[in-house]
Structure 1
Amino acid sequence: MSLEVQIKGNKIFAPLKGKDLVLTPEELVRQRYICRLVNHYKYSLDQMEQEKKLTESKRGTGRASADIVIWRSKEEKQKKLNPIIVIECKADYITIQSEDYYQGQNYARFANAPFFVTTNEKETKVFKVNLEVTPKTLSNEILDIPTAKEAISSDKIKKLLSQTKAFERDEFSKLLFQCHNVIRNNDKLSPEAAFDEISKILFMKIRYERNPDEDNIFTLKQFERQETNYEKNIRPVNIKRNGPKDDIPYMDYWFELTKDEFEEDDLFDANEKIKIKQGSFKEIVKKLQKYNLSTTSDDVKGIAFEQFLGGTFRGELGQFFTPRTVVDFIIDVLDPQEDEIICDPCCGSGGFLIKAFEYVRDKIENDIRDEKDKVNKAFDESDSSDEKLKEISNEILHQLGKETQIRKREEQETAIKNDKFISRLEKLSSSCIFGTDANPRMARTAKMNMIMHGDGHGGVHHRDGLLNVNGIFENRFDVILTNPPFGSRVEKSLLITNADRITDEERIKKYKSIYGEKVYKSAMSQIDNNIDKPVLDTLHIGKEGMSGLTEVLFIERCINLLKPGGRIGIVLPEGVLNTQNLAKVREYFESTAKLILITSIPQDVFMKSGATVKSSLVFMKKFTEEETKLWDTYTDDANKLQYKKFEEELTELTEQLAKRGADAPTAKEKKVMRQRKSDIEETIKKEVRRIVKEKFDYEIPIATVEKAGISSTGAVIENELVTIEKEYTPYRIENNLWNESKPDFKYIWSTSTSVVERVKNGQNSQKLED
């Protein structure tokens, strides 16, 4: 019988201790890994120990104790011989860093254990401990720890210790290119079509890594076994209730299950198939089988995947890649914070979303690490081993990584089973990152890119960015960053159709549960109430006929998506800022948002992507409710004042134009009157705009850079954007520009000076308020 994690409320059972412990994120990872040691590696509980003290405690110096220690056998454990494996566990929201290796190195060194493991469940690293030198050190990362059977064989141990792990960034990038070339050479597909097939296979691999207990493992051995079964007319057994039919080749069967797994993401059409030969698929499985994407660091996967993307997409697809220097600058200026909701409605390959995700993730991890160090230091200095004190410390550490808002909806996928809280990083991944792209290939690419960089893909959709979809609604976002398509037009002939509607009742039920029925219904009315009507009519600029340019329409769309006080960074052609035919458009935007920074960048920046239009990086902040009221008040007052000046003349002109019969003006006279009336109305509009802008006055910082970190050939050069950001950040902080849109997101343990004292004194920790 397999060992399973047992959770009841805020307690988790620890079989190695024989009792319940406080359910902290770190304890959850530890107990899950213990289950893996038993179920996968076949170790028995009586040859392991949890929280094994490896050195004596001294006041002020901390304790050296290992999370999990494993002996070759229960007899060696009883004899207190040296263990074989020392394991250090971290919470899933903690990125494993070099200091964690050093900490574990000390544990393993004191224990004389040849294997050291560090894991946060998402990423697991195994090291060889060099026992032949003093002090004993960690050498290269190796492939795996031994199974219980291998642990008793010296030869097996020696072999495992010699198997250096070679899955580094460059190798993974080369591997992806090799798989891509297999398809291009064998199946004669274009680079883009070959990439589509690679994407399908990577999604399939991720799907099976998420379901390790299934019989269908992504290995060459399993594939060959199923090939044989297929030839013998033995079909795979359905895994899911609504799984695919049994009478299809095994690679197609895998893909059907994967489509089902990612159904809500709308990644693949219902009739989408694997479009490569079985031999090509088999060769790729062979190349990928030794790598576990789920336990490979996000840095390795993410950067390697980006290298692969950059080397694969050329020509027309270059438009989907915003240079990293531009992405970094926009995000550094906007400075997204934890708990803010972020969107890119033209996300392309996901560059902005990935950087924003990493930017906020680093803030969370640094905060948790700093606060945890304070708590641990206080605990160590207390010079007490009292279990109640330790429980208090664990309770605080538990709260550090958890979102304070209790989740009440059972349908919320991110909630940890039987636990009231979710981790702060889980909330970032599942509830704060959103994007759309109208190109299905790029939507899949963005999702895969997000997964490779640490997830957050659930909010990315294949969708026209001008239309609402799951979570992408008006007045919802704190931060928007985007590089919309330039130069193309949306015509009146582009209609909203029934295909744009979400009809799956289960998904609708889920979305209503997450966002509230009233909010969801209102958001989706943009589509439901406009079937067979032009997409342009959903926007003021389009409906009024001001412009059909995509870049202009997306400015309005982004402003609409923002909450009052929300902020946007957008790449725009400079013509939007200065051409006369877009003057009315600019006037409209002036009435909805403030310009807070304009940075002109050299034409070279986008040249490698095939774009020749000179661009600017434009930052705006949507009016707060108070600013909207103020603008409207200034406008109403100015209108009344100006109409009063021309009231008599306008009344006379209106009456004359309304006359009929013998007293009516001639056609020529009417023409003159209409022109005069039009001239007066235009004069009033101009004067109203002048008065309002004079009263609603604010600074607009403008900068021009000659070098933005990338040349016309893509080479790395000097980056003056860094200087602009360093100058702008103190300015916007001093002027409190983000204040209205930032959440009041404070933690009791971060703001209270008594937390450390409570740990030292062993008092009950203060409970979080809902």
Structure 2
Amino acid sequence: MTKQGKINNGALEKKRRPEDIVLKDIVIPFLREDLGYKFIDPRLQRVPIRFGRETKYADTVVYIIKNAKKIPHIVVESKAPNEPLDWEQAESYAQRLRAPYFLVTDGKTWHWYQTGERQGESEIIKNVPEAPRYMEKENLIAFEDLNELQRVVGKCHDIIRNEEGFDPTIAFDEISKLLFAKTQDEREVNQGFKDDKGRTPKNDYEFGIEKDELPEEIGTRVKTLFERAKNKYPEIFEGTTEDIKYIKLRFPTIFHIVQELQNYTLQETTIDIKGATYELFIKGTFTGKGLGQFFTPREIVEFMVDMLEPKRRDFILDPACGSGGFLITCMKMVFDEIDDLYRQRGVDNPKKEKWGFATQHLYGTDINERMTWVAKMNMVMHGDGHGGIFNHDGLKDSERIELIIDIVKKKDGFDMVLTNPPFGSRIKSQDILARYKLGEKHKEQLTEALFIERCLNLLKSNGILAIIVPDGTILNNPSSQDIRKFIIQRSFIEAIVSLPSETFIPYGSTQKTSIIFLKKKATETEVQTKPVFMAIADTVGFDSVGRKIDSNDLIRILERHDAYRKNGEKALAKIDQEIGIKKLRLSEIADEFPADDDEKGFLVSFSDDNFIRRMDVEYYRPKIKRLLKLLKNKNAKKINEVVEPPVEREKIKEPDDLSTVFRYIERIDSKTGKIIYGEKPFNNIPQGARFIFRYPCIIVSRINAKIGCVAILPKDLDGILGTNEYYTLCPKREVDIDYLHEILRSNVVKQQILVRTSGLFTRLHEEQLRKILLPLPVPAEQVKIKEARSQAESMKREAKHLEREALTEILKKFE
């Protein structure tokens, strides 16, 4: 080392760490000015490096350019002056990035290393690696970030739309075909041959445009590439319609798309970037076209895979695979594991290991022909495994899925099944129903129920199932107790994670869902003794319209589950022990009731009776238990104690003149707590609106009370009609109606309603409503709500008066 840097003490910035000063003021200038390296990470420090699920950060990375691609060349680890120059961490970063060199320095002492293939094999070197003086001719550039790839693919999509007029679904097919042809081109160049049999030599890329080439020449060449790709992977196109088997685009359109793609390489683009882009492309194409059910958001997929932690020896299945998201994410995690094993001398041939896993351990079926093709294409783009994807009804067996049946026969079943099955419909085919315990002796059965049984049948003993299910049909519906009993008989309940109600709204489903993790029992006589890990996710990384947000509770849930898995029950307090430990203040939860941190992972003692009755997380959440305990300790009253006994409902008689106009309740506004009503002739009002509601009373919606649909019936609406989907509560004399209305709309009551409602439409039964606890202050305190409302109305009128005065003054200037 010839150059010794000197730190200018006058230039030191108090806010910078000593190691940052060494990096910026000494190391970076030396690398650039003395050694000639121009491409140093623009962030200068903290370059993220993924190790499985964990992200670590190198101080900076120096790159060289090879074939128009930035290649990591030197990993730099800077230390504070006189700090020990530990090199093991820098070695692991360099090995992960496949950088041939790494540097550890405190600005005075410089240790240069040549990176070894495996841990501990790196060697210190005397000659400093200088920057290459001559760069190779640039060929193809890897997409370095998601935005870049999305921009290019989006532009290709626009070209097809503008030049061909195809709808998004056909445009998706055509772009996929061209990407498939380009992938084939890159593989042929890498292998040096156009085919396997004739070994026709190939050195140059064909998916590109030479000077003066015409669209007809380019289009013909690309279509030939596509035909060779089809011949190499014929199983991808088995069972597809004829229009999928050829490129529909005209030559000029192909020419313009090749112009956009020719300078990039798909082979060298990371799985993360390709996966995210393809996912967004699929999402934008198929959601809203009746195919949103085939899409599971990346955040949910990654969480489920991370919870299971698949390994290279595992056999994995998704019987309703859609676009293949679960299988691709499993493949990526296992590929990372294989890379780590190679570095630690656990495997000798990582390429062979990856190929073996992708082609022999991943399987999926889907009933939709188009999505099966999409999944196969997706797998090819990501590293193959397409041979295990079949267009087939996931609830049936046949010769078409012989490979899957063989695994069940020869290996006792799959190690893991991950799936988001279709739900919201019922199977009526007696041929299918007769195959399942949950189907036999039934005229029909929930699709999701049969998929649970199917998945358990395909698992080996102690195999794990991760499946998304709707709360309202599987977990809390009183009519589904036989399904929950079956789950308990056949499996151990490992974990249940509640997802927010908006999770699948961007994809066309409004159902509240949860993820359940089940371990298949060896025999039905086995008894569960372990508690169940439960968690509530209020956020999952995107909002109700699919926009990305920073908040994602799944990350914290995963952390708590990891702690439980590593340290056992001592890592998380059981729910029974947790109640009463944390203080709960009613004033803090009146408007909002977010899950506490302990609700991002808690344990619930298992019992057959409880879990047959209810299996939804909300029923067991600690915060609800603390709320109920607090209310009981404060001598709260049941609603039944503060309102008059229920009376038989008054029903209207049909008038002689059916054109007589009546007012009827359309709905109760959850934001304002007021009645929205309509006026129509008797013969046009909703058929069920035949019940008379009398002043004074509070009207409660059976279905939507949990979101605040509770209203005071005003005197001018006395006698309004409504359906039996509304209850009435008439407060006793000592209870102020305004206070009762406000407390019924607060989270103090809404959260109690949540645990007392169940089923697909979560109706609240009147006897359950009347058992809800209310804090009841003295009358002098209750009237403060009425006074506050009166003051608010006065302020509104005053504001309206001021607005009119201001407008009048403005208009006078124009007179």
Look up the match of 1:218. 206
Moved more, 575-584 or 214-223: 214-223
Cα distance in 2, alignment partners of residues 336 and 559 from structure 1: 17
For 2:501, give the aligned amino acid.
Q
- Per the alignment, residue 384 of structure 2 pairs with 455
Match of 1:614 in 2: 512
Please give the secondary structure, in 1, of the residue aligned with 2:100: helix
Kindly indicate whether the alpha-carbon contact (under 8 Å) linking 2:236 and 2:373 is maintained by their aligned counterparts in 1: no
What is the Cα deviation at residue 333 of structure 1? 2.0
Residue 356 of structure 1 and its aligned partner are, at CA, apart by 1.6
- CA displacement 1:387-428 (0-9 Å, x = unmatched): xxxxxxxxxxxx72359xxxxxxxxxxxxxxxxxx8322222
Output the amino acid matched with 2:148.
E
C-alpha separation in 1, matches of 2:116 and 2:273 = 16
How big is each residue's C-alpha offset from its partner over 1:237-291, in whole Å with a ceiling of 9 and x where there is no partner?
A: xxxxxxxxxxx96665544443332222345637333222232223223332333
Counterpart secondary structure, 1:604: coil
Residue of 92, 100, 104 corresponding to 1:103: 100
Q: CA deviation at 1:455?
A: 3.3
SS of the aligned residue for 1:709 comes to strand
Counterpart in 2 of 1:711?
Answer: 543
Whether the 8 Å contact between 1:219 and 1:286 is mirrored in structure 2 is: no
Greater relative contact order structure (CA < 8 Å, 6+ sep): 1
Q: 1:330 and 1:582 mapped to 2: Cα distance?
A: 25
Determine if the alignment matches structure 1 residue 265 to structure 2 residue 241.
Answer: no
Q: Are 2:362 and 1:428 aligned?
A: no
CA positional deviation for 1:565: 0.9
The secondary structure found in structure 1 opposite 2:502 is helix
RMSD: 4.0
Mapped partners of 2:209, 2:348: distance in 1: 41
* Letter matched to residue 456 of structure 2: I
Q: How many angstroms does 1:195 deviate by?
A: 0.1
State whether structure 2 residue 484 is matched by structure 1 residue 577.
no
1:562 is aligned to 2:459: yes
CA distance in 2, matches of 1:547, 1:96: 56
Match of 2:178 among 197, 201, 206: 201
Is the alpha carbon distance of 1:174 and 1:341 closer, same or farther for their aligned partners in structure 2, counting shifts above 3 Å? Answer: same
| 1:317 alignment partner, one of 272, 285, 291 | 291
Change (3 A) 1:301 1:332: closer
Distance 2:434 2:481 in 1: 20
Residue 166 to residue 621, structure 1, CA distance change in 2 (3 Å) = closer
Q: Equivalent residue for 2:331?
A: 357
8 A contact 1:96–1:119 mirrored in 2: no
Q: In the alignment, is residue 472 of structure 1 matched against residue 404 of structure 2? A: yes
Structure 1 counterpart of 2:272, from 295, 299, 311: 299
- Would you say 1:597 and 2:495 are equivalent positions? yes
1:240-639 equivalence runs, <5 A: 253-266=224-237, 269=240, 271=242, 272-315=245-288, 316-369=290-343, 371-372=344-345, 400-402=347-349, 423-468=352-397, 469-473=401-405, 474=408, 475-492=412-429, 534-545=431-442, 547-575=444-472, 576-624=474-522, 627-628=523-524, 630=525
- The residue aligned with 1:30 is none
Residue number among 165, 168, 187 corresponding to 2:144 in the alignment: 168
TM-superposed CA distance for 1:191, in Å, is 0.6
8 Å Cα contact 2:417/2:465 also seen in 1 = yes
Distance 1:100 1:314, change over 3 A: closer
Query: 2-side partners of 1:96 and 1:226: how far apart?
Result: 47
**Match of 1:563, SS?**
strand
Decide whether the 8 Å contact of 2:215 with 2:255 is kept in 1. Answer: no
CA deviations on 1:150-186 (whole Å, 9 max, x unpaired) are: xxxx9xx56837x894743332221111211121112
1:351 shift after superposition: 2.0
User: For each residue in 1:325-351, what CA deviation from the matched residue of structure 2 results, as whole angstroms up to 9, or x when unmatched?
Assistant: 322322222222230111111122222
Alignment partner, residue 188 of structure 1: 165
Whether contact under 8 Å (2:142, 2:265) holds in the other structure is: no
Contact residue 271 and residue 382 of structure 2 kept, 8 A? yes
The structural deviation recorded for 1:477 is 0.7
CA distance in 2 between counterparts of 1:270 and 1:703 reads 44
**Partner in structure 1 of residue 615 of structure 2:** none
Aligned to 1:21: none
Cα pair 1:266 1:461 within 8 Å, conserved: no
Post-superposition shift, 1:135? 6.2
Give the secondary structure class of the aligned counterpart of 1:598.
strand
CA apart distance, 1:592: 1.4
User: Which whole-Å CA distance do the structure 1 matches of 2:434 and 2:92 have between them?
Assistant: 46
The answer to whether the 8 A contact 1:708-1:718 is kept is yes
Query: Can you give the 5+ residue segments of structure 1 that lack an aligned partner in the other structure?
Result: 1-69, 71-84, 89-93, 107-116, 121-133, 140-153, 231-247, 373-398, 404-421, 494-533, 632-694, 737-770
How far apart in 1 are the matches of 2:320 and 2:558? 24
Helix, strand or coil for the counterpart of 2:463? strand
Q: 1:227 to 1:284 in 2, by over 3 A?
A: closer
Partner of 1:528: none
| Cα pair distance change 1:296/1:332, threshold 3 Å | closer
Code of the aligned partner of 1:477 = F
> What's the CA shift string for 1:523-572, capped at 9, x where partnerless?
xxxxxxxxxxx344333323432743221111111111111110111110
**TM-fit CA distance, 1:87:** 11
Query: 1:367/1:734 Cα in 2 relative to 1: closer, same or farther (>3 Å)?
Result: same
Whether the 8 Å contact between 2:157 and 2:171 is mirrored in structure 1 is: yes
Query: Counterparts of 2:381 and 2:93 in 1: how far apart (Å)?
Result: 16
Higher strand share: 2
CA shift in 2, pair 1:578/1:166, >3 Å: closer
2:416 aligns to what SS in structure 1?
strand
Distance 1:105 1:289, change over 3 A: farther
Equivalence for 2:710 = none
Contact 1:574-1:614 at 8 Å conserved across structures: yes
Question: Alpha carbons of 1:610 and 1:301: their partners in 2 closer, same or farther (altered >3 Å)?
Answer: same
Q: Is the 8 A contact 1:340 1:479 kept in 2?
A: yes
* SS of aligned partner of 2:427: coil
Match of 2:693 in 1: none
CA, structure 1 residues 452+265, in 2 after alignment: closer, same or farther (shift >3 Å)? closer
* Structure ID, larger Rg: 2
**Alpha-carbon distance between aligned partners in 1 of 2:239 and 2:130, rounded to the nearest angstrom:** 48
Q: 2:215–2:252: 8 Å Cα contact kept in structure 1?
A: no
Question: Can you list the C-alpha shifts for 1:690-712, whole angstroms capped at 9, x where unaligned?
Answer: xxxxx665533333332333321
Cα distance in 2 for partners of 1:447, 1:699 equals 39
Paired AA for residue 548 in structure 1: Q
Q: 1:447, 1:457 within 8 Å by CA — same for their partners in 2?
A: yes
Match of 2:559 among 704, 726, 748: 726
- Identity, % of aligned pairs? 34
Change beyond 3 A, Cα 1:437–1:226: farther
Say if 1:573 and 1:614, in contact at 8 Å, map to a contact too.
yes
SS for the counterpart of 1:605 is coil
**Contact residue 419 and residue 468 of structure 2 kept, 8 A:** yes
Q: Distance in 1 between matches of 2:163 and 2:248?
A: 12
Distance verdict in 2 for CA 1:158–1:320, change over 3 Å:
same
**1:205 Cα offset (Å):** 2.2
Number of aligned residue pairs: give it.
440
Check conservation: 2:413, 2:459, Cα contact below 8 A.
Answer: yes
Question: Which has the larger share of helix?
Answer: 1
